A and B are shown apart, each in its own frame.
Chain A
Amino acid sequence: AQSVTQLGSHVSVSEGALVLLRCNYSSSVPPYLFWYVQYPNQGLQLLLKYTSAATLVKGINGFEAEFKKSETSFHLTKPSAHMSDAAEYFCAVSGGGAQKLVFGQGTRLTINP
C-alpha cells in the first residue's frame, strides 16, 4: 500500500520569503511522486512530477522538489513567494501496478503581504 503525509495543514509565509511544503511518502515499490496545486473553486493543476530520472525536479511557476529516498521525502520549495501562490497544495504518490494517485491531506499556503 502507498500513503502520503503532508506535514502542516496550513503554512503561512511572507511575500518574497522561501516556501517549503513538506511531503513524506510510504511505498513498497519505486514511487512516482507528484505535486498538484488547487486554486479556489478550480480543479487540480500539475506542478511537477518525479518518475525516477533526476532527483531534483523543476516545475511550473518557479517551484521545484527534491526526491530523497533515504528520507522518503519529496518536499516542495520556491525561493520567493508571490501573492498568486496562495492555494492548496497536494502531494501524491503512485507506482507499481497502482495507476491511481494516493493524495496527502493537502497544505493550504497563505502569503502575507
Chain B
Amino acid sequence: DSGVTQTPKHLITATGQRVTLRCSPRSGDLSVYWYQQSLDQGLQFLIQYYNGEERAKGNILERFSAQQFPDLHSELNLSSLELGDSALYFCASSEMGDSSYEQYFGPGTRLTVT
C-alpha cells in the first residue's frame, strides 16, 4: 500500500460525458502527478501540481483539467469523453516537487468509455 488513494476504482461512462477522478496523496506529500496508461500510448504524464499550484504540464488534452485543493487532494476532470479516452489513470505523489524525489503511485482508476 503506497498511501495514495484514488476513487473510484472503475468508471464506465458514455461518449460525450464528463467524469471526475479523485486522488488523495500520501500524508505529508505536497506534489501530485497524473498519468494516463493505455495500450497504444503506454504511460504518459498529464499534469503536476505542487502545493495547490500547477507546476508542469504534459500531454494533457484541452478537454481535461485538474486542480489541487487546500487539503492537497487532487481531482482530474475529463469532459466530452471519447472512446480513445478509455485508459487507466494513475495519480502519484511525492514529498516535494523536485525530480529526484520518488513518486508513489495510487492503484489507479480504470475508465471505460462506451
Contact = CB atoms under 8 A, between A and B. Distances in A.
Most chain A CB within a 10 A radius of its CB, from B2, B43, B48, B99: B99
A43 B6 CA distance: 10
B58 A100 contact: yes
Tier of interface size on chain A: 20 to 34
A101 B44 CA distance: 8
Contact of A36 (B4, B44, B50, B105): B105
A8 B68 CA distance: 37
Contact of A43 (B58, B94, B98, B108): B108
Contacts of A98: 56, 99
Interface of B: 2, 4, 31, 33, 35, 42-45, 48, 50, 55-56, 58, 90, 92, 94, 97-100, 102-108
